[in-house]
Amino acid sequence: MENAQPVLQAVGLQKSFLSGERTLEVLRGVDLSVAAGESVSIRGESGSGKSTLLHLLAGLDSCDGGTLRWAGSTKTDASRRSAFLGMVFQSFYLIPELTALDNVLMAARMAGKSGGAQRSRAAELLQRVGLAERARHVPANLSGGERQRVAVARALMNRPKLLLADEPTGNLDEKTGDTVIELLLDLCRETGTALVLVTHNAVHAEKTDRQLSMHDGVLSA
pLDDT tens sequence across 23-56: 999 999 999 999 999 999 999 998 899 999 999 9
In tens, the pLDDT along 53-76 reads 999 999 999 999 999 999 999 888
Distance between CA 10 and CA 22 in Å, rounded? Answer: 26
Residue 26 domain flag? no
pLDDT in tens, 95-139: 999 999 999 999 999 888 989 999 999 999 999 999 999 999 999
Number of domains in the chain: 1
Q: Decide: 194 and 34 in contact? Cβ < 8 Å.
A: yes
* Domain range enclosing 97: 36-60+73-220
Look at residue 83 and tell me if it is in a domain: yes
Structural domain contains residue 67 = no
- Parallel, antiparallel, or unpaired: how do β-strands 194-198 and 162-166 relate? parallel
In a domain, 130, yes or no: yes
Domain assignment of residue 29, yes or no: no
- 125 in any annotated domain: yes
Domain membership flag for residue 16: no
Q: Which amino acid makes up residue 100?
A: A
Q: What is the CATH number of the domain that holds 120?
A: 3.40.50.300
> What's the pTM value of the predicted model, to 2 decimals?
0.93
Whether residue 99 is contained in a domain is answered as: yes
CB 212 within 8 A of CB 220: yes
Strand partners, 198: 42, 166
Q: Note the pLDDT tens digit of each residue in 121-132.
A: 999 999 999 999
> What tens digit of pLDDT does each residue of 163-202 get?
999 999 999 999 999 999 999 999 999 999 999 999 999 9
DSSP codes of every residue in 101-129:
HHHHHHHHHHTT--SHHHHHHHHHHHHHT
Q: How many CB atoms lie within 10 A of CB 66?
A: 16
* pLDDT given for residue 3 in this prediction: 55
